[in-house]
Amino acid sequence: MDATLRNILEKMPKAELHIHIEGSLEPELIFALARRNGVALPYASVDALRSAYAFTDLQSFLDIYYAGASVLLAEEDFYDMTMAYLQRANNDNVRHVELFFDPQTHTSRGVAFATVVNGIHRAVQDAREKWGMTGALIMCFLRHLSEEEAFATLEAALPYRDKLIGVGLDSSERGHPPEKFARVFARCKGLGLHLVAHAGEEGPPAYITTALDDLHAERIDHGVACMQDPALVQRLVRQQTPLTVCPLSNLKLCVFKRLQDHNLLALLEAGIVATVNSDDPAYFGGYINDNFIAAFEALPLTREHARRLARNSFSAAFLAPEDKARRLREVEAFFSQ
Ligand SMILES: [Zn+2]
């Protein structure tokens, strides 16, 4: 690819809005934490674990992802995982990040909610002090579990309300439509939390519609299936509902056979507020800049698209209006060089 464009993608200021912090656990860190905590892993080595990362669909990934997360026990483990990600994000010129975390993956193993949230939150604070990178936490409910379990998780989160900016919905999409969590999301909305949901990754466009209608999601994670429903595309454009698109994830989980088939450019040309993100970077072959570079290599995207994607990443963020305006000015200053 053109060296100038590559340089722009690497250096431009950007926000990351779709990153599962547990999905940033690199095999080396999984093994280091397993040693520190005396956890036995079903893989003999870092290479054996990495070679198991040949996924056929979302579920085949989730099985390994939950095994990897089993090494996280102490607050320090959550801190180290988060700081390792934030360091990479800073290298990629991410200036603002909204991190997903899955408390149920940990509380179901006996890890206290406080351990999880305090470790992640402390790393986010340190990144702000070190690099001026702002960050916020979005707590996700695992959609393959019950509504009752989601409500119990929300109860456990209430003492930490000030550490959360919003809630999301993730894990196995098929067979778990958003409406299953309508009442949980209504309660979250009442608490003043921002609302996002994974929809239209492997699932049908109807899941995007119910995420909007029944959950009142302000942003849709993935959402690439919207192109199957022209009326839905029109609605997303009219409402300016952002999509957090993750190209390498879609490739690795076989949502698109080849990146050349990805609809990122089509989404942008339709007028959708699409953004580029890494999802689970340790598992899907790359962090945010790797996603930008791979997408721009596969599709006829230009410098102007790069500028729009950088702008979209901040417009779609849950930032205070003055902070959003400041970040958008940084993008304009970068592109006017
Ligand atoms: Zn995701």
Question: Residue 53's pLDDT is what?
Answer: 85
Kindly report the number of other CB atoms within 10 A of residue 56's CB atom. Answer: 10
Q: How far is the CA of 336 from the centre of ligand 1 (A)?
A: 33
Task: Select which of 16, 75, 201, 202 is catalytic.
Answer: 201
Percent pLDDT > 90 in the chain is: 91
- Averaged over 229-240, what is the pLDDT? 98
Q: Give yes or no for residue 301 having a pLDDT over 90.
A: yes
Q: What are phi and psi of 244, to 5 degrees?
A: -100, 100
Closest C-alpha among 211, 196, 210 to residue 164: 196
Model pLDDT for residues 116-149, shown as the tens digit of each residue: 999 999 999 999 999 999 999 999 999 999 999 9
Question: Residue 55's pLDDT is what?
Answer: 85
Percent pLDDT > 70 in the chain is: 100
Q: How far is the CA of 145 from the centre of ligand 1 (A)?
A: 16
Model pLDDT for residues 104-120, shown as the tens digit of each residue: 999 999 999 999 999 99
Annotated binding residues: 18, 20, 198, 279-280
Annotated binding residues for substrate: 280
**What is the helix (H) or strand (E) element at residue 247, kind and residue range?**
helix 247-252
Residue 99: what residue type?
L
Q: What's the chain's average pLDDT?
A: 96
Q: How far is the CA of 321 from the centre of ligand 1 (A)?
A: 26
Vertex 107: Cα angle to 104 and 108 (nearest 5): 80
Q: Say which residues have a Cβ less than 8 Å from residue 266's Cβ, sequence separation at least 6.
A: 227
CATH 3.50.50.100 fits 3-335, yes or no: no
Q: How far is the CA of 265 from the centre of ligand 1 (A)?
A: 20
Q: How far is the CA of 153 from the centre of ligand 1 (A)?
A: 19
- Averaged over 216-232, what is the pLDDT? 98
The question of whether 201 is a catalytic residue gets the answer: yes
- Averaged over 268-294, what is the pLDDT? 97
Q: What residues does each domain of the chain span?
A: 3-335
Q: Give yes or no for residue 59 having a pLDDT over 90.
A: no
- pTM for the whole thing? 0.97
Vertex 29: Cα angle to 15 and 122 (nearest 5): 50
Q: How far is the CA of 31 from the centre of ligand 1 (A)?
A: 23
Annotated binding residues for Zn(2+): 18, 20, 198, 279
Structure tokens at 275: 């953004």
Residues 43 and 102 sit within 8 Å (Cβ to Cβ): no
CB-count burial class (<10 Å; 0-12, 13-18, 19+) for 170:
buried
Kindly report the number of other CB atoms within 10 A of residue 299's CB atom. Answer: 19
